[in-house]
Each structure stands twice: as structure tokens, then as C-alpha cells.
Structure 1
Amino acid sequence: MPAAPAPRPAPSDGYRRAIEAHRQAAPPSRADPAIAQAVERQTAAMRELSRRAFPEPDVIPDDAPAPIEQVRAQRRRQAAATEAAVLRRARQERTAREGGKAVPQPVALRTTA
């Protein structure tokens, strides 16, 4: 266990006097309490409108995958399906070349928008 740090030395009297002089010289806050309350009310109203416009989704169980993980899993499945189709096509072409048959025409895997 590491040793506790040494206590800080107390600030000098000159430092304390300078800090006190600064506090006394600083202008008092000129914020109007009514304006501060109005700002708080407006902020609360905006948060409520935002909550209504963009409601929180239902509680997601801890063991459920995050939406990004769902997308990644779907893309991995699509990539695996594409790879399998490419391998099947390559095998067909190789078999056709070795057997002297005509090479089958490619089949569209999917269309895009």
C-alpha cells in the first residue's frame, strides 16, 4: 500500500491577505433572481418538450445486443452469404472448365436502390 502524501504546508499570511483582498474587490453578482428563475423555467419546459418529441426507447435488457452490434452481425451474415455464393460460383466455373462445358452465366446476388 503506498504511503499517504505529506500534508500541504499552510498558505502564507501574504497569500491569505491577497485572496481576501481579491474577494472584497470582486464585484457582487448582478444577476437578477427573477431572470435566473425564468431561465430555469424555460430550460425545464424545453427539456419536457424534448422528452415528448424524442421519447426514450423502452428499457433494453442487459443481455440484448446494442443496435450497432445488431447491424454488425447482419453485415457479417451478408458478407458470409456473399462469400459462400462466390465460392459456389468459382467451383462451378472450375468444374465447367475442367469438364469442357459452357461456363454458367452469373446470377445477381442482390439489387441496390
Structure 2
Amino acid sequence: MSFSGTGKAVEFDVESGRLDVVPDAPACGTQLRWSAPKLIAAANKKVPGAHVRSLHVLAPAAMKTGPATAAAVAGPQPASAAPVERRTPPEGYRRAIEAHRPAAPQSRVDPHIAEAVERQNRAMRELSRRAFPEPDGIPADAPAPIDQALVQRRRQAAATEAAALHRARAERAQRSGAAVILPQAAALRSTA
């Protein structure tokens, strides 16, 4: 049985329902694997009593027989199960490739284009230096500006928390009926 020019069925195991197929090429093997459900249905339709349940795609090239494949090779093989030979390219093709290799032009860079690219890079670096100048005079032991901002935010958060605790204690004291006067903390600033 041939599968539309992509491979040939070489063996069928009646007990397991496995159909072994040899593809014409590796790409054909991939095509056979993808269309396995359709091929199983077609094989069962063409040979009604076959009961094919799985499709096993073999390698397109001749394989060495090892312990795993020796049992499969030992059984009777149909006459069409000749090993697939890889074709060598035609002589004209090989000569054309050999002639093309030395004739392929080396990639050359135009010196004027390279100079223009370098000028453009220098101009972009200068514009970048003007737009984002480096700060002058930062001492080595001074914290970076982001660290200063984080420290300032932490101080503000601590002051806000302390003021909130004072206020919560005052409100709790008022609810309990005790007249406790707490010193007013510094006015809170809005953070939003």
C-alpha cells in the first residue's frame, strides 16, 4: 500500500494492529506522523478486516539492526522493503557550487559610509552629553540622590505614623470619658 507518494507500508502486526511505514524522505515522515489518524482510517476502509490501530513511521534511511530491531527484521519482509538510498547530487550541481564559492563577492564596506556613520555616532554622543550632563562635585561618601529621597520619605512616614498614633490615643481617651490633653504634634501635610 502506498500513501500518496510519501511512503510505503512495509509490515503489519495483526496482534497489535500496528502498521509500519517507510517514508520517502524525512519530511515525508513528518507528514505521515501528522496525518496518522486519516491514514489509519483510510487503511481500515481499503482493507476491511485489517483493524489498523496505530501507525509506526520508520526511518527513511537504512538502519543498523540492533537488539531492538533484530526481531522486526527477522520476520518475512516484502520485496518492496529495500533500504532507501540517499541520492548523490548530480555532477553539474556540484560543479556549479564549486564554481560559485570562489566567485562569491566578499562583503566590502564603503569607507564614505563608515565615516558618515562614525560622524553621526559622535554627534549623538555629544547631544546626549548636553541633554543629560553628569553632576559635578558629588563626594564619594555622599549618598546617591535616590538614597536621599528614600531617607526623606522614611522620615516623613515615621512622622506621619507618630502623629496618627497620638491622634488615635486622644480619640480613644475622649471615648472613654477621660479628659486627657495631649500635646499637638506638628501639623500634618497632605501627601496626595
Query: TM-score under structure 2 normalisation?
Result: 0.39
Q: Summarize the Cα distance change of 1:25–1:110 in structure 2 as closer, same or farther, 3 Å threshold.
A: farther
Identical positions, percent: 74
Q: Summarize the Cα distance change of 1:74–1:25 in structure 2 as closer, same or farther, 3 Å threshold.
A: farther
Distance between the aligned counterparts of 1:112 and 1:84, measured in 2? 15
Distance between the aligned counterparts of 2:140 and 2:120, measured in 1? 35
1:88 aligns with: 166
Distance between the aligned counterparts of 1:78 and 1:43, measured in 2? 45
Amino acid at match of 2:154: R
Higher helix share: 1
Distance between the aligned counterparts of 2:168 and 2:153, measured in 1? 22
State the 1:53 CA deviation. Answer: 2.3
Higher strand share: 2
State the 1:80 CA deviation. Answer: 0.4
SS at match of 1:74: helix
Amino acid at match of 2:170: Q
Amino acid at match of 2:149: V
Distance between the aligned counterparts of 1:55 and 1:40, measured in 2? 22
Q: Aligned match of 1:99 in 165, 177, 181?
A: 177
SS at match of 2:189: coil
1:109 aligns with 2:188: yes
2:116 aligns with: 38
SS at match of 1:42: helix
State the 1:51 CA deviation. Answer: 1.2
Q: After superposition, where does 1:1-113 map in structure 2 within 5 Å?
A: 27-100=105-178, 109-112=188-191
Distance between the aligned counterparts of 1:59 and 1:39, measured in 2? 34
Q: Is there any run of 5+ residues in structure 2 with no aligned partner, and where?
A: 1-101, 180-186
The structure 1 segments of at least 4 consecutive aligned residues displaced by more than 3 Å after TM superposition are: 24-27
Number of residue-to-residue matches in the alignment: 86
Deviations 1:29-66 (A, max 9, x none): 32101110111011112211221222111142111111
Query: TM-score under structure 1 normalisation?
Result: 0.62
Distance between the aligned counterparts of 2:104 and 2:174, measured in 1? 90
Larger Rg: 2
SS at match of 2:108: coil
Q: Is there any run of 5+ residues in structure 1 with no aligned partner, and where?
A: 1-23, 102-107
TM-align CA RMSD? 2.7
